[in-house]
Amino acid sequence: MHILVIPFGDALGTRGDGHGNSVKIRAADALVRAMKNLGVRHLFGIPGGSIMPVYDALYDAEDIKHYLFKHEQGAIHAADAYGRITKKPGVVLVTSGPGATNLVTGLANAYMDSSPLVAISGQVATPILGRDGFQETDIIGVTFPITKLNMQVRSPDDVVSAFTTGYIVSTEGRPGPVLIDIPRDVLLGSTGSIEPIPKIHPKTFGGEPGREEILKALRLLLNAERPVILVGGGVCWSGAWDDVITLAEILWAPIVSTFPGKNCVPNDHPLYLGPSGMHGRLEADAALANADVVLAVGTRFSDRTVGRFKEMNTKAIIHIDIDPSEIGKNVRTEVGIVSDAKKALKAMLRELPSAIQEEYNRQHSGRRSFIAWLKEIRRKYEEYIEAKAGGMKPFAPWKVLKVLRRTVPPSTIVTTGVGSHQMWCELHWDVYIPGTFITSAGLGTMGFGLPAALGAKIAASNRPVMLIDGDGSFQMTMNNLSLVRDYGLPIISVIFDNRALMLVKQWQIYMYSRRVIATEFTKNPDFVKIAEAYGIEGYRPSSYEEIENIVRRALRTDEPVVIDIELDNEKDIVLPWVKPGEWLTNAVPPEGLEVDLVWRG
């Protein structure tokens, strides 16, 4: 266990007047000063009565830029994406009551995707606490299960230490969201001394992995006939993609990923087959389903990735994760290594030359035929969809993605909403540079994409940012378009417009005997006009070439744009698809494509 040493004095930035006398300042001012000293340069939020002291303190804080959102959900999703790009917590400021409760979805989203952020909510003054005051909500009680840590500060002297603790805890070990609730009178109170928050023990599990575990894992991998590496989001946080690639190349092991793991390995690497699972690639499903040994790195083994746990438990699983509670949670592990992904993979690479090289060489040729078979599945599928694209009017969604991919630079950050467009991205968006694909994977939060794109642009203003959204998802948070012009955030917004909650409709078609209800929109707003209302150019292209031209122009002029891509909502069905609770080899392929996902040697 690692006990954190918190730089309380540094965080405040002052411990006296230089003559041994303590200087008292307003707690809200001390908080803002602590933010500055910790390197916070951007804040996301909406002011209100209880948080006003902090806003007042920000009045003179020229080093910190505040982004005013129209709804707290937008602010927290932006902070979430900001944290994923910068690897530092995004900081959110909201008021009490509805301001705080509007954070709930964003906190849960960040919690599920292990994203670092610190949310500060104002609270009613302490004499009113518990008296059902105006805009009082027990936000601590509300957010226990969806925060890594939450705390209510009751003394001005605890404000800075609470924030500093929360800031560090949110990135320590497995990242996650922290909420700090501060009553208005506490923010207005004076502080001169900084008291540590008692009984907080941030801890990082798993320093250097044990040599015995590493050797055992290597023996399993070297003796395997069909080893497969499953990459999860933890690889990104750890920055371990080079190590994954090196290990895969040495072992000649195919790489598959979870959906967030797609962001953690260059998708154009020859050994990367794509994400497996509910809306994964057929070749990735086949690889994972037919593997005899699985090296899983930084993943929680979601049902969404593996379909069914029963069959997974027939494999020898080596599981590396920084969170000990993930080891053995969903699948039985042969070797569990509690460690940072990079540390564990580096240790494996160090030990590899001394491991049983001879045994590995013996197996090598078998692995090549396994990979060749998986590549053949890919070839069949790609050929099939290429042939089918012409029949989808006006656009085939996957072809739109291919056009976009070849038009925007590799460093472009892409965010998505949630729905069928997102699943098309899972299947067909190639992430060339790890860390450039931001999506709501765990919670599946519709409306995440647009505010996340804003947060990404704030974090990386020199890189193009493109939102790929669905019409249903976009409409949940499209008020965030106002920030594009307010703050000069030129994002490219592409809307896959099928005038339906298409993924839900797909379930109704396949699992509820086509009883389609409450998933088709009778009439959409005109997204081109919506864009224009926010001072952004909007387009409704009629050809792939036109899409390419619009995007090229937006990139060249560094101007925002909204592109409404109309899709046929009868044909926009995302296949292949592993139905909930099904095993990977039972993936439903697109109609007319015949493919056997069981390896027969």
Partner 1 sequence: MGMDSLARVINTIRRGKVQVLEISSKLGSNGDINIAIRVRGEESEIEWLRKKILVLVDVTSVEVL
Binding region for partner 1 (CB under 8 A):
1, 140-141, 144-145, 148-152, 169, 174, 197-203, 205, 323-325, 327-329
C-beta of 553: minimal distance to partner 1 in Å?
A: 49
C-beta of 9: minimal distance to partner 1 in Å?
A: 22
Residue 471, beta-bridge partner list: none
- The distance from CA 319 to its chain's CA centroid, rounded to whole angstroms, is 21
**Closer by beta carbon to partner 1, 204 or else 508:** 204
C-beta of 530: minimal distance to partner 1 in Å?
A: 41
Burial environment of residue 366 by CB neighbours within 10 A (0 to 12, 13 to 18, 19 or more): middle
C-beta of 307: minimal distance to partner 1 in Å?
A: 20
Contact 445, 78 (CB under 8 A): no
C-beta of 155: minimal distance to partner 1 in Å?
A: 12
* Best CA proximity match to 418, nearest among 503, 357, 516, 305: 503
**Closer by beta carbon to partner 1, 140 or else 392:** 140
Here the tokens at position 144 are: 């226990």
Residue 466, beta-bridge partner list: 414, 492
User: Helix or strand or coil: residue 369?
Assistant: helix
C-beta of 321: minimal distance to partner 1 in Å?
A: 11
C-beta of 130: minimal distance to partner 1 in Å?
A: 13
**Closer by beta carbon to partner 1, 205 or else 384:** 205
C-beta of 324: minimal distance to partner 1 in Å?
A: 5
**Cis check: omega of the bond before 394, within 30 degrees of 0:** yes
Backbone φ and ψ of 197, nearest 5°: -75, 120
**Closer by beta carbon to partner 1, 158 or else 285:** 158
Contact 415, 465 (CB under 8 A): yes
Q: Return d(Cα 97, Cα 229) in angstroms, integer.
A: 46
**Closer by beta carbon to partner 1, 148 or else 342:** 148
The 3-class secondary structure across 469-486, one letter per residue, is: EEHHHHHHHHHHHHHHHH
Contact 566, 528 (CB under 8 A): no
**Closer by beta carbon to partner 1, 205 or else 510:** 205
**Closer by beta carbon to partner 1, 331 or else 551:** 331
C-beta of 173: minimal distance to partner 1 in Å?
A: 8
DSSP H or E segment with residue 428: helix 420-428
User: Helix or strand or coil: residue 92?
Assistant: strand
**Closer by beta carbon to partner 1, 4 or else 511:** 4
**Closer by beta carbon to partner 1, 97 or else 166:** 166
What per-residue string of b and e applies to 517-538 under the rule 16 or more CB within 10 Å gives b?
A: eebeeeebeebbebbeebebbb
Q: Return d(Cα 70, Cα 52) in angstroms, integer.
A: 17
C-beta of 506: minimal distance to partner 1 in Å?
A: 30
Q: Return d(Cα 520, Cα 504) in angstroms, integer.
A: 10
**Closer by beta carbon to partner 1, 170 or else 412:** 170
Q: Return d(Cα 487, Cα 67) in angstroms, integer.
A: 8
The amino acid sitting at 1 is M
C-beta of 203: minimal distance to partner 1 in Å?
A: 8
**Closer by beta carbon to partner 1, 313 or else 542:** 313
**Closer by beta carbon to partner 1, 49 or else 324:** 324
Q: Return d(Cα 539, Cα 557) in angstroms, integer.
A: 16
Strands of the sheet containing 272-275, edge to edge, are 272-275, 255-257, 227-231, 293-297, 316-321, 335-338
Q: Return d(Cα 490, Cα 559) in angstroms, integer.
A: 5
**Closer by beta carbon to partner 1, 199 or else 523:** 199
Cα–Cα distances in angstroms (integers) from residue 518 to residues 266, 348, 503, in the given order: 39, 52, 12
Location of structure tokens 């070439």: 545
Under DSSP, the state recorded for 146 is G
C-beta of 1: minimal distance to partner 1 in Å?
A: 8
From the CA atom positions of the chain, what is the Rg in Å?
A: 25
* Best CA proximity match to 277, nearest among 590, 584, 599: 584
C-beta of 174: minimal distance to partner 1 in Å?
A: 8
